Structures are given as C-alpha cells and as structure tokens.
C-alpha cells in the first residue's frame, strides 16, 4: 500500500474527494499526512474529522522556503510518504522538496494546460471567452504548472457561464479525476508510469 501526503491551502474539497475515495475503497492508498500552509484553512478541519495527521505551518515563521521545506521533508520521511499530492496548495515547490521527490509530486490545475497557468485559471478562461476548458493533472517541476501532463478532462463553457457555474463544473470533474489518477499511479510501478 502506497502512502500519500496531500498539500492544501484552502477549502480542501479535492482533499475530501481523496479521503472519500479511500473510504469507499476505490483508492487503495493510505493518506498519512496533510500539509497545510494556512493553519486556519478548512482543509485542516477535514483532516481532523477524518483522523488524518496534519502539519500546519506559517511560512512567515521560517527564514525562507528552504527552511520550511526542510521541515516538510522531515515530516514526509517520518510518515514514509511515497507520493505527494498537491490539491490547492498555493506555493511553488522549491528545490529542497523537488530534489527529494521529483517525479513523485503531482498537482491538479483548473484549466487545460498549457493554457491558463498560474492564479485565477478559471477567470482567465472566462475572459478569453473559450468554449472549452477543463482540468489537468500533471507532475510538478520547478516551473509554474509546467510539468509533464498525466491526465486531462474537458469542460464545456456556455454563453452565460460565470465563475461560480464554471467552478462547480470544474470541481465536479476534479473530484472524480484526481482520485482516479492517484489510483492509477499508486497501482503502477514508476517504470510502467514513465512508459505510459
């Protein structure tokens, strides 16, 4: 059984979908840790409710990214984490974590990358008046939403789409797609994943 850590900064609805998938048996992994850079985030409440250990920190309490990532890395070792799952974690991953976990960190992004990377992806899609957007799951590298793509799913936009209606559609897709991709990754060896 593979051990995963979820990193989140906010509401954590994707974290919840992963918890639910483990509980209903469709995801055969163990969520050993939540890492959260906002101690008051609702994601922390979800961890408590599910009995999942969490490491909540405030970046300001550390001298720099290297300092807090060193602390995170120690937690990942302590909890024997195989796969890091970013789910609304609003920080770029730095060299400290990347050098230890590159190829084993994934992210979910609410657009069809490489379109609309970075913040406010759904707002960017609306302003561009695209007819189709979607969700991307990708490996994390040093760039912003730039690592190799693992899976994508489309979402159609209507004439009068709003940020609220789009967010609802995107979340519905994310909550199915992310647990399914994680299951695919934890049930394949790294070699099989690399070879597709």
Compute the least distance from the CB of residue 17 to ligand GRF, in Å.
8
Contact between residue 42 and residue 12 where contact means Cβ atoms under 8 Å apart: yes
Strand order in the sheet with 105-109: 54-56, 29-36, 2-8, 83-86, 105-109, 132-139, 149-156
In 3D, which of 42, 56, 50 has the Cα closest to residue 13?
42
DSSP 51: T
Task: Report CA torsion sign: 112, 115, 117, 120.
Answer: negative
- Report residue 4 as tokens: 């995963």
User: Could you tell me which residues are beta bridge partners of residue 105?
Assistant: 84
Rg for the chain, CA atoms, rounded = 16
- In three-state secondary structure terms, 131 is coil
Q: Which is nearer to ligand GRF, 140 or 185 (CB)?
A: 140
Per annotation, catalytic residue among 109, 138, 171, 175: 109
What does the binding site for ligand GRF look like in residue numbers (CB under 6 A)? 8, 10-15, 87-88, 108-110, 170, 174
- Report residue 155 as tokens: 């979402």
Q: Which is nearer to ligand GRF, 77 or 142 (CB)?
A: 142
Compute the least distance from the CB of residue 11 to ligand GRF, in Å.
4
Q: Which is nearer to ligand GRF, 72 or 87 (CB)?
A: 87
171 is catalytic: no
Compute the least distance from the CB of residue 137 to ligand GRF, in Å.
9
Compute the least distance from the CB of residue 71 to ligand GRF, in Å.
22
Q: Which is nearer to ligand GRF, 8 or 81 (CB)?
A: 8
Give catalytic residues, as residue numbers: 109
């Amino acid at each position: 059984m593979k051990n995963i850590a979820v990193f989140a900064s906010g509401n954590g609805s994707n974290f919840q979908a992963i918890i639910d998938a483990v509980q209903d048996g469709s995801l055969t992994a163990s969520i050993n840790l939540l890492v959260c850079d906002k101690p008051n985030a609702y994601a922390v409440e979800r961890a408590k409710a599910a009995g999942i250990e969490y490491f909540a920190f405030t970046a300001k309490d550390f001298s720099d990214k290297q300092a807090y990532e060193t602390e995170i890395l120690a937690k990942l070792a302590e909890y024997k984490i195989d796969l890091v799952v970013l789910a609304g974690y609003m920080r770029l991953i730095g060299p400290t974590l990347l050098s230890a976990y590159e190829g084993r960190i994934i992210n979910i992004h609410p657009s069809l990358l490489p379109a609309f990377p970075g913040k406010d992806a759904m707002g960017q899609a609306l302003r561009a008046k695209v007819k189709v957007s979607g969700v991307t799951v990708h490996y994390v590298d040093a760039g912003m939403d730039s690592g190799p793509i693992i899976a994508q799913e489309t979402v159609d936009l209507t004439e009068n789409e709003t940020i609220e209606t789009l967010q609802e559609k995107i979340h519905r897709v994310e909550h199915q797609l992310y647990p399914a991709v994680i299951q695919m990754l934890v049930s394949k060896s790294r070699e099989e994943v690399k070879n597709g």
